[in-house]
Copies of this chain bind each other. A is one copy, B any other.
Amino acid sequence: MRLEPQYKELLNSALELSGQRATKQREHIYALLLQKRNHPTAEEVYVRAKEDMPTISLATVYNCLETLAETKLIRQVNFEREPTRYCPNLTKHAHFYCRESGEIVDVDLSDELLDELMKVLPAGFTAKHIEISYDGACNDCHD
């Protein structure tokens, strides 16, 4: 697995900016998230990471994911009572979770819609983030 040059650049500058080092493990995990964008859990990332890097530890996977999230290269995605999942899509989007197939799909959100969501906040409140999660049945799981 190779990390494409533009992403390698992005990773290196994000790490440098936050005073952290570029390591094989961080690069590997970032590459793997970019390559198969299926919102894996830490455990799933661990399994995939070991294929090419058999000595990597689960703690390192958690550390790397934490670092990538901190530097805003990936996002954490949470569905109630389930393990955290990870997503390298940096555009503004929500997540749709199909409880039947288990699939998670990105749903693009316009700036206008996000503006409207900000406008409904009570006076004096400012949000740094909005997290929007749908759940229901996806295209493939309909009758």
Which residues of A line the B interface, CB within 8 A?
Answer: 76, 78, 80-81, 84, 96, 105, 107-110, 113, 116-117, 120-139, 142
Find A126's partner among B84, B124, B130, B142 (CB 8 Å cutoff). Answer: B142
Closest to A138 in B: B125
Measured between C-beta atoms, what is the minimum distance from A80 to chain B in Å? 5
- Beyond known contacts A110-B120, A130-B133: 13 more, CB 8 A cutoff: A76-B80, A80-B84, A81-B84, A105-B122, A108-B120, A124-B142, A125-B134, A125-B136, A127-B136, A128-B135, A129-B135, A130-B132, A131-B132
Assess whether B134 is in contact with A130, with CB atoms less than 8 Å apart. yes
- The answer to whether A136 touches B128, judged by C-beta atoms less than 8 angstroms apart, is yes
